[in-house]
């Protein structure tokens, strides 16, 4: 998708990853390989991110992954890439010999750049079973992949994109060779709906909505919905998304979220995935307004609101005065994003603010960012920035008791509450473009009305 997701996208990626980690936890606890009796648990360094899964792609689809077919009895380790992990890290943590790891990676490089590894992506490792370690009785489970007894690395397999498979396989001579296969994928529209009892997350999961689709929905609605306060039991959701099927009709991934709807306390919010003539894809409401706001209310990921806007006793100065911004507590070095497109007005030392950045977004709106530990590369007065671009890093410079971002929204030279100010919306479709949107919208509405809701499949994830 060509949408510029910005920090919300990052937020959702993090959410998706944590959601996936949860699902892996439950998978792992049912695995026969989980903590086999003869394997000390500490041989699998980070147990929550590792799971032994049955290969999801049936054998007839594995043209390139001969390594997997060669050794049906070999042990398999599926590793979820964690933030900051390199392929080398993953192989080393999984108990692969350094020589093997280097050879396997260097062969993969012919078809894939290992630096492209994304957080949350799956890497499948195949280890050769050593028959001398398996008792003849067969009552003991085979050694866990990744444990010292698992044997040598036979292969690596990963899917950088839907339908694209990269595999490195060890040949009998012990050297690795890599191959890439591309499957042709066809989108199939799927409609899901449900009633929210506790959270959208639980309701969507119960309805069999894939987590990637759910994360995309959350991202799209995040500009308008306060997930903590706006959701009530009895609220409803609906989503129309694409499942991507390969040549054999096997569903291998999901595509676009075509339409998403929330009915919150009787109020309907409907979003349409739409690409304008200039090639920019975004979500639009029924009125043809992009859901993306011109400014982010929270220009930082995963931070905790530590001080709100208004009168407060200053933690250092001791006396009561107006706090003309909001504070987000976050570890030093956490990236800070430009809240919107604009030009850096100033980036430098600014009294009690410490390292401070002010961005001019338009004649009406400016934003300010205080206490930064440092500025991002290339950020200085006059630099043009886009929404979601990293401009600096959290610190405690100036009058600050601990690392946090002091964030200000300045409207017509007056500091206003970033969390409650009515922010300008993004794009609004007009004229011919709006007419075209209405045609596309009508098509989607018809599709939503005619498609049956996909029945819940208990073990869909």
Q: In the complex, what is the shortest distance from the CB of residue 375 to Zn ion, in angstroms, rounded to a whole number?
A: 18
Q: Is 327 in the site for Zn ion (CB under 5 A)?
A: yes
Sole window of 191-199, 250-258, 324-332, 422-430 interacting with Zn ion (rule: CB under 5 A):
324-332
Question: Which residue number, 325 or 388, has a Cβ lying nearer to Zn ion?
Answer: 325
Sole window of 34-42, 164-172, 325-333, 337-345 interacting with Zn ion (rule: CB under 5 A):
325-333
Q: Which H, E and C letters describe the chain, residue by residue?
A: CCCCCHHHHHHHHHHHHHHHHHHHHHHHHHCCCCCCCCCCHHHCCCHHHEECCCCCCCHHHCCCCHHHHHCCCCEEEEEECCCCCCHHHHHHHCCCCHHHHHHHHHHHCCCCCHHHCCCCCEEEEEECCCHHHCCCCCCCCCCCCCCHHHCCEEEEEEEEECCEEEEEEECCCCCEEEEEEECCCEEEEEEEEEECCCCHHHHHHHCCCCHHHHHHHHHHHCCCCCCCCCCCCCCEEEEEEEEEECCCCCEEEEEEEEEEEEEECCEEEEEEEEECCCCCEEEECCCCEECCECCCCCCCCCCEEEECCEEEECCCCCCEEEECCEEEECCCCCEEECCCCEEEEEEEECHHHCEEEEEECCCCEEEEEEEECEECCCCCCCCEECCCCEEEECECCCCCCCCEEEEEEEECCEEECCCCCCCCECCECCHHHHHHHHHHHHHHHHHHHHCCCCCCCCCCC
Q: In the complex, what is the shortest distance from the CB of residue 337 to Zn ion, in angstroms, rounded to a whole number?
A: 17
Rounded Cα distance, 211 and 461, in Å: 8
For residue 10, give the nearest of 330, 302, 355 by alpha carbon.
302
Q: In the complex, what is the shortest distance from the CB of residue 360 to Zn ion, in angstroms, rounded to a whole number?
A: 21
Question: Which residue number, 128 or 325, has a Cβ lying nearer to Zn ion?
Answer: 325
Q: In the complex, what is the shortest distance from the CB of residue 398 to Zn ion, in angstroms, rounded to a whole number?
A: 10
Q: Is 408 in the site for Zn ion (CB under 5 A)?
A: no
Question: Which residue number, 235 or 327, has a Cβ lying nearer to Zn ion?
Answer: 327
Q: Is 159 in the site for Zn ion (CB under 5 A)?
A: no
Q: In the complex, what is the shortest distance from the CB of residue 349 to Zn ion, in angstroms, rounded to a whole number?
A: 17
Question: Which residue number, 120 or 325, has a Cβ lying nearer to Zn ion?
Answer: 325
Q: In the complex, what is the shortest distance from the CB of residue 310 to Zn ion, in angstroms, rounded to a whole number?
A: 11
Rounded Cα distance, 294 and 282, in Å: 13
Q: In the complex, what is the shortest distance from the CB of residue 299 to Zn ion, in angstroms, rounded to a whole number?
A: 14
Residue with smallest beta-carbon separation from Zn ion: 406
Sole window of 17-25, 106-114, 318-326, 415-423 interacting with Zn ion (rule: CB under 5 A):
318-326
Sole window of 35-43, 73-81, 267-275, 399-407 interacting with Zn ion (rule: CB under 5 A):
399-407
Question: Which residue number, 293 or 323, has a Cβ lying nearer to Zn ion?
Answer: 323
Question: Which residue number, 80 or 371, has a Cβ lying nearer to Zn ion?
Answer: 371
Rounded Cα distance, 116 and 265, in Å: 43
- Number of amino acids touching Zn ion (CB under 5 A): 3
Question: Which residue number, 50 or 353, has a Cβ lying nearer to Zn ion?
Answer: 353
Q: Which of 252, 406, 418, 423 binds Zn ion (CB under 5 A)?
A: 406
Q: In the complex, what is the shortest distance from the CB of residue 328 to Zn ion, in angstroms, rounded to a whole number?
A: 9
Question: Which residue number, 38 or 320, has a Cβ lying nearer to Zn ion?
Answer: 320
For residue 36, give the nearest of 138, 143, 127 by alpha carbon.
143
Q: In the complex, what is the shortest distance from the CB of residue 326 to Zn ion, in angstroms, rounded to a whole number?
A: 7
Sole window of 216-224, 239-247, 374-382, 404-412 interacting with Zn ion (rule: CB under 5 A):
404-412
Sole window of 89-97, 155-163, 211-219, 320-328 interacting with Zn ion (rule: CB under 5 A):
320-328
Q: In the complex, what is the shortest distance from the CB of residue 406 to Zn ion, in angstroms, rounded to a whole number?
A: 3
Question: Which residue number, 288 or 403, has a Cβ lying nearer to Zn ion?
Answer: 403
Rounded Cα distance, 8 and 217, in Å: 11
- CA-based angle 3:6:9, to the nearest 5? 80
Question: Which residue number, 85 or 408, has a Cβ lying nearer to Zn ion?
Answer: 408
Q: In the complex, what is the shortest distance from the CB of residue 307 to Zn ion, in angstroms, rounded to a whole number?
A: 6
Could you tell me which residues are beta bridge partners of residue 114?
A: none
Sole window of 50-58, 126-134, 321-329, 427-435 interacting with Zn ion (rule: CB under 5 A):
321-329
Question: Which residue number, 301 or 327, has a Cβ lying nearer to Zn ion?
Answer: 327
List residues binding Zn ion (CB under 5 A): 325, 327, 406
């Amino acid at each position: 998708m060509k949408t510029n997701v910005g920090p919300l996208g990052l937020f959702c990626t993090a959410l998706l990853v944590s959601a996936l980690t949860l699902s892996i936890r439950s998978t792992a606890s049912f695995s026969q390989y989980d903590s086999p009796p003869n394997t000390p648990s500490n041989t699998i360094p980070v147990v929550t991110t590792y799971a032994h899964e049955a290969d999801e792609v049936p054998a007839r689809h594995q043209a390139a992954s001969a390594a997997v077919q060669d050794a049906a009895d070999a042990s398999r380790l599926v590793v979820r890439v964690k933030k900051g992990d390199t392929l080398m890290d993953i192989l080393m943590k999984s108990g692969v010999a350094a020589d093997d790891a280097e050879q396997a990676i260097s062969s993969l490089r012919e078809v894939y750049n290992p630096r492209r590894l994304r957080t949350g992506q799956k890497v499948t490792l195949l280890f050769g079973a050593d028959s001398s370690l398996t008792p003849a009785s067969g009552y003991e489970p085979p050694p866990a992949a990744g444990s010292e007894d698992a044997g040598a690395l036979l292969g690596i397999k990963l899917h950088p994109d839907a339908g694209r498979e990269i595999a490195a396989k060890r040949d009998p001579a012990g050297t690795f060779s890599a191959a890439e296969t591309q499957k042709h994928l066809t989108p199939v529209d799927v409609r899901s709906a449900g009633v929210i009892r506790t959270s959208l997350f639980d309701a969507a999961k119960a309805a069999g909505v894939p987590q990637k689709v759910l994360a995309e929905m959350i991202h799209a609605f995040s500009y308008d919905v306060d997930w903590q306060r706006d959701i009530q039991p009895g609220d409803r959701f609906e989503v129309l998304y694409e499942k991507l099927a390969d040549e054999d009709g096997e569903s291998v991934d999901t595509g676009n979220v075509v339409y998403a709807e929330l009915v919150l306390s009787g109020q309907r919010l409907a979003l349409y995935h739409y690409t304008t003539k200039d090639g920019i894809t975004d979500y639009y409401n029924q009125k043809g307004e992009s859901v993306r706001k011109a400014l982010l209310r929270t220009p930082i990921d995963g931070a905790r609101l530590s001080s709100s806007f208004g009168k407060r006793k200053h933690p250092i100065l001791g006396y009561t005065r107006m706090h003309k911004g909001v504070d987000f507590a976050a570890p030093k070095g956490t990236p800070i994003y430009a809240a919107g497109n604009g030009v850096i007005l100033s980036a430098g030392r600014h009294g009690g603010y410490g390292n401070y950045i002010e961005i001019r977004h338009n004649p009406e709106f400016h934003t300010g960012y205080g206490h930064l530990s440092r500025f991002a590369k290339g950020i200085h007065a006059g630099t043009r920035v886009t929404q979601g671009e990293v401009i600096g890093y959290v610190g405690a410079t100036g009058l600050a008791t601990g690392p946090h971002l002091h964030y200000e929204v300045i409207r017509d030279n007056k500091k206003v509450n970033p969390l409650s100010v009515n922010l300008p919306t993004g794009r609004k479709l007009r004229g011919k473009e709006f007419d075209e949107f209405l045609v596309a919208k009508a098509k989607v509405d018809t599709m939503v009305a005619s498609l049956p809701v996909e029945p819940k499949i208990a073990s869909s994830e």
